A and B are shown apart, each in its own frame.
Chain A
Amino acid sequence: MFWLVSGIYSRKDMIPRIIIAVLLLVGPGAVMAQTEEMPRLSLRSLSSQRVRLDKFKGKVVMLNFWATWCPPCRAEMPDFVKLQRAYRGKGLQIIGITYPPTNVREVRQFTRSIHVNYPILLGTQKTKALFASSETMPLTIVINREGKVVARIEGILLPVEFEETIKPLLN
């Protein structure tokens, strides 16, 4: 950081330094939304199988962090079931990742009750921290077909956000 502020620079020299300083200040999250590669992750599923996220490369992935104790998370999941059904053929893959404290029995009961048709994996606080520093729940990470994180959607997913952010990736 020191080189950014030390010494006397011409205005021309300062501009790129200021840009880099601003990028460092806003934190890695803002940069990640545009360029970051999906982290290599392997998580346990409800049936105790290890699932690697990179196996979904080539699809448009919506990683949805949710919890049974989070009312908006539960409220939006029936819509995710419909989206998965409607856009599976176009390459949409929704993956639910639970956020602690997780009661696996409750997760099973709830996902069965709404007929979830996409994988549910068991996450930790660290799993979510790999994608976002924000603690807002739910959180949906959008990953393009090249495996790059292209958007982070905090709070419930609004229809307009799906239309504008995710649907264009499916074309």
Chain B
Amino acid sequence: MRKVLSMTLMIGVFMAFTALNAFAVKKTTTIHVEGMHCKNCSASVTKALKAQDGVQKVDVDFEKGTAIVDYDDEKVTEQKLREVINSTGFKVVDQKSS
């Protein structure tokens, strides 16, 4: 009986932990950036975004003028990502993210 109870408790804790992790959703956003005419300059956008806690993957395409970012929305917001890009001297433009 004791074993069954402890097993049930362990399973319960495991399920609760899994459920908590499920809330930390990985989000992907495409941010449109103006002024990225030079590949060697736009590397700073990648660098600044990657330095943010919660950012998991960054793909900057200077020709398309986009930054595709995978991030944990519990740690960083899209607004913060936009501010980080603006701080690198480029300008985030409002276009609907995919």
Contact = CB atoms under 8 A, between A and B. Distances in A.
Interface of A: 69-76, 135-138, 154-156, 158, 160
Given A74-B89, A75-B88, A158 B51 contact: yes
Contact of A158 (B38, B45, B48): B48
Interface of B: 35, 38, 40-41, 43-48, 51, 87-90
Contact of B44 (A69, A135, A156, A160): A156
A136 B89 contact: no
Contacts of A155: 43-44, 46-48
Contacts of A136: 40, 43
Query: Sorted from nearest, which 6 A-B pairs have the closest CB atoms?
Result: A71-B89, A75-B89, A72-B44, A155-B44, A155-B47, A156-B44
A148 B89 CA distance: 31
Nearest to B34: A71
B87 A75 contact: yes
Contact of A160 (B35, B51, B87): B51
